[in-house]
Structure 1
Amino acid sequence: MSTSTVIAIPEGEGSVPLKEKKNKFRDSLLRIISFLGEKKNKDDVRKIIHSIKVGIALVLVSLLYLLDPLYKQVGENAMWAIMTVVVVFEFFAGALLSKGLNRGIGTILGGGLGCLAAALAQGVGGVGNAIVIGTSVFIFGSAATYSRLIPSIKKRYDYGAMIFILTFNLVVVSGLRAERVLQLARERLCTIFMGFVVCIFTSLLVFPVWASDDLHDSVTSKFDNLARSIEACSEEYFSIGNEKENQPKFSCSSCKSVLYSKSKDESLANFARWEPWHGKFGFSYPWKKYLQIGEVLRDVAVATLSLKGCLRSPRQSSETLRASIKEACEEVACTLRELGESIVKMRRCQPAALLMPKLKSMRQELSLVVSPCTLGLLENSDGVLEIASFVFTLMQIIDKVEELTKEVEELGELAGFHAKK
């Protein structure tokens, strides 16, 4: 006869208390919020949100096919709405508006001129029909293609010119009667407009990503990056000791990131011009001034990289001379940070009338350091060359910082920065 053993389970074991479940859920939620809030993860979060927005837009335009009442109105032309979403929807709101408006303008102009050319060809008839169509395709196609090679047009309207060429040729060589061409153009334009409206709705109203914000953050971060690079370089240069393990390890990554940012900033500025008023950026905001500031910042980055050559030189110059120019390095870094902070907070920094004399005074002090009388006291020729090279490079940076001060002050006037309290 078999026996069975009964194991008693204490009360509470084998099941997770409700309070513990709530605590685990709360901890998981906090970890997710912390992950989303970290700056390094914001780009990944924005990419996920963008993908979801595209999915939503595609579902909305697909309703033109899925719902019978809508399909009866638009028919097979519903595919143009789907194509519009796929082609036009971009990561930045400004890029979407740029592409969408270019597509709309190119479609209207190409379709309108194509209808006129088709009507004219039908009126001529016979052999003249083919001659009119061929001539119009050649003239408008060549003119639109040439316009795409003009830098100012290519930068902002290249996509619209391409759509114009495509639409014009499709309409003018369709071979249909003029009245049918008008109907076809009207139906396709309506469905394209529907797709564009869906894109605008999902892009601007559901967690919009503004190119203007990215450009603003990109330019302002360069000031701090360069300030930190100059500080790091000066600390290594003025450090005591020539042992191998104490040799400088100056990082160029921050300066190189500034140098390689030109194409990205130009692209962001182009998209920012298309964006409507939002947040702290109003209409006709001077984005061109950001590009001018970026050019000067790249010059500062080049000069800062030149200081790296001084770090590799035999550091045998007088420590007294080195200490005399250390303050200038700190002042330059401090000025860069102040200029960057004024743009971040959109407020006026110290006016150029106050900053310029301070920068000129620094340049005069550095000039005394590299004067023949001062350098003549050095016994080592390598030390003379080293200190002179470092000081002259630092003076170039000061000249560029003076130029930056003027540019930032002009930006404050154009953008209407509030006065410093």
Structure 2
Amino acid sequence: MSSTVITISNEDEITPTQKRKSQFALLSNVYSLVAKQSKHDMRKVIHSFKVGIAFVLVSFLYLLDPLYKKVGENAIWAIMTVVVIFEFSAGATLGKGLNRGIGTILGGGLGCLASILADEIGGIGNAIIVGTSVFVFGTAATYFRLIPSIKRRYDYGAMIFILTFNLVVVSGLHTDKVMELARERLSNIGMGFAVCVFTNVLIFPIWASDELHYSIASKFETLACYIEGYLEEYFRLVNEKENHSNTSFASCKSMLHSKSSDESLANFARWEPWHGKFGLSYPWDKYLQIGDVLRELATTIVSLKECLQSHRQPSSALRQSIREPCEAVGSSLAWTLRDIGESIMKMERCRPKAFIAPKLQSMKQELSLVTYSKLGAAENGEGLAMASFVFLLIKMVEKVEVLVEEVEELGALAGFSN
């Protein structure tokens, strides 16, 4: 879980109003952290209970005599299916279950055909057919597993296909026994899958699509807070800095490593049925594109933090001379990020790019003019440090421009309300 460091100032220098605001901010942060942790812990408890319920239901295949007489010892495959495919989110469970079913059917079916052909030929041809089919299908399935688009969604199914095909072909059983064994195991895998779907999708479902949606939308607010905090720290006077701790940017850094998590959630979300406002062909790829731009913006913000910690800094007077336009840009960036993030959270159309883009363009021009006008009066080291700071601000404006365009496209593709 990310950590939050609260800025602490000297109590003799703050007014009662500032103290109340500080206490309110502290309580808000504590409440937010506790609520987030409590919600996450509750989801873990719910998932654990659902797994227990699934095991109880599948164990009836052994405990109830009528069911046991039909399935016999093959009920172990239903229990193994629950153990293997029951995942935290509904989409992950459905994806793994369908992959297991498709892989078993294709592997068993092709294995039976290869076994029938080998039996018909007999003799030395039997071994040739078995060896050739194992080599061809094993090589082809392994190659397809390495293709990124297939690996993301069907890697588990390809692995089950290879396993099932080899077990059927190499088993050496007669065709009638192979068909009977395949039918029994497939029916038991279907029972296990049905139990998983019932408990995971119908009992307090945890949707990967909801998690991805709220994860992407909440990142806008996080980045807006960091932009405001770092600008405030940059323009703080030297004697004020001594009484303040550095703002933590652990959450901003953790965002840089969220790509794999976002891709996994998007992959699971594609398997989920229609629920709420998320349809079957929902544009999850657009969420991933927005996540990429957010990470690029987070990288720029982390660079801004490193700029603040550099030993080469412009003088306090030079910083104060550019404070007003830079803080205006920071406030506008934070406002824009919160606005488009809220539009995603509420699934409403954001302000059109034609309304926001001119404002962002004017920000970049103003920052450029400020930099050129101040660089001439600054010493070499101070001018370079200030130019680096302003350059990062301009880069952030450009990234926000891209985000506005991406969110506007998302609203059109997903059918956000006006």
Same fold by TM-score greater than 0.5: yes
Partner of 2:9: none
Bigger drift between 311-320 and 167-176 goes to 311-320
- The offset of 1:382, in angstroms, is 3.6
Is the 2:313–2:386 Cα contact (8 Å) retained in structure 1? no
- The offset of 1:271, in angstroms, is 0.4
Partner of 2:385: 386
Partner of 1:154: 151
Task: Deviation per CA, 1:174-225: give whole Å up to 9, x if none.
Answer: 2111111111111111111011001000001111000011101111111111
Bigger drift between 273-282 and 101-110 goes to 273-282
Distance in 1 separating the partners of 2:308 and 2:54: 55
Q: Where do 1:5-404 residues align within 5 Å?
A: 38-242=35-239, 245-246=242-243, 249-312=246-309, 313-316=312-315, 317-371=318-372, 373-378=373-378, 380-404=379-403
Partner of 1:409: 408
**TM-score calculated relative to the size of structure 2:** 0.89
Flag the 1:354–1:327 CA change in 2: closer, same or farther, 3 A.
Answer: same
1 or 2 for the larger relative contact order (CA 8 Å, sep ≥6)? 2
- The offset of 1:247, in angstroms, is 6.5
Counterpart amino acid of residue 305 in structure 1? V
Distance in 2 separating the partners of 1:268 and 1:64: 33
Bigger drift between 238-247 and 167-176 goes to 238-247
Task: Deviation per CA, 1:384-408: give whole Å up to 9, x if none.
Answer: 2232111111000000000001000
Task: Deviation per CA, 1:342-363: give whole Å up to 9, x if none.
Answer: 1001001110000000100111
Q: Which of structures 1 and 2 has the bigger CA Rg?
A: 1
Distance in 1 separating the partners of 2:243 and 2:300: 24
Counterpart amino acid of residue 134 in structure 1? G
State the 4+ residue runs in structure 1 displaced beyond 6 angstroms.
none
Counterpart amino acid of residue 411 in structure 1? L
Task: Deviation per CA, 1:320-364: give whole Å up to 9, x if none.
Answer: 222222101111111111110010010011100000001001111
Q: Does the residue aligned with 2:136 lie in a helix, a strand or coil? A: helix
Q: Does the residue aligned with 2:72 lie in a helix, a strand or coil? A: helix
Count how many residue pairs are aligned between Structure 1 and Structure 2. 383
Counterpart amino acid of residue 332 in structure 1? L
Distance in 1 separating the partners of 2:68 and 2:313: 79
- The offset of 1:318, in angstroms, is 4.7
- The offset of 1:241, in angstroms, is 2.8
Task: Deviation per CA, 1:58-78: give whole Å up to 9, x if none.
Answer: 111111111111111111111
Is the 1:307–1:390 Cα contact (8 Å) retained in structure 2? yes
Q: Does the residue aligned with 1:370 lie in a helix, a strand or coil? A: helix
Q: Does the residue aligned with 1:273 lie in a helix, a strand or coil? A: helix
Is the 1:242–1:315 Cα contact (8 Å) retained in structure 2? no
Distance in 2 separating the partners of 1:38 and 1:295: 28
Bigger drift between 86-95 and 300-309 goes to 300-309
- The offset of 1:242, in angstroms, is 4.7
Partner of 1:18: none
Distance in 1 separating the partners of 2:78 and 2:36: 36
- The offset of 1:239, in angstroms, is 1.4
Distance in 2 separating the partners of 1:251 and 1:366: 27
Flag the 1:318–1:196 CA change in 2: closer, same or farther, 3 A.
Answer: closer
Is the 2:314–2:383 Cα contact (8 Å) retained in structure 1? no
Is the 1:226–1:254 Cα contact (8 Å) retained in structure 2? no
Distance in 2 separating the partners of 1:241 and 1:76: 76
Identity %: 65
Distance in 1 separating the partners of 2:340 and 2:327: 20
Q: Does the residue aligned with 1:139 lie in a helix, a strand or coil? A: helix
Task: Deviation per CA, 1:29-61: give whole Å up to 9, x if none.
Answer: xxxxx9xx9332111111111111111111111
Distance in 2 separating the partners of 1:132 and 1:118: 8
**TM-score calculated relative to the size of structure 1:** 0.88
Flag the 1:249–1:68 CA change in 2: closer, same or farther, 3 A.
Answer: same
Q: Does the residue aligned with 1:249 lie in a helix, a strand or coil? A: coil
Distance in 2 separating the partners of 1:314 and 1:179: 82
Q: Does the residue aligned with 1:56 lie in a helix, a strand or coil? A: helix
Structure 1: 5+ residue stretches without partners:
1-33
Flag the 1:176–1:329 CA change in 2: closer, same or farther, 3 A.
Answer: same
Task: Deviation per CA, 1:281-318: give whole Å up to 9, x if none.
Answer: 11211000011001100110111111123323434115
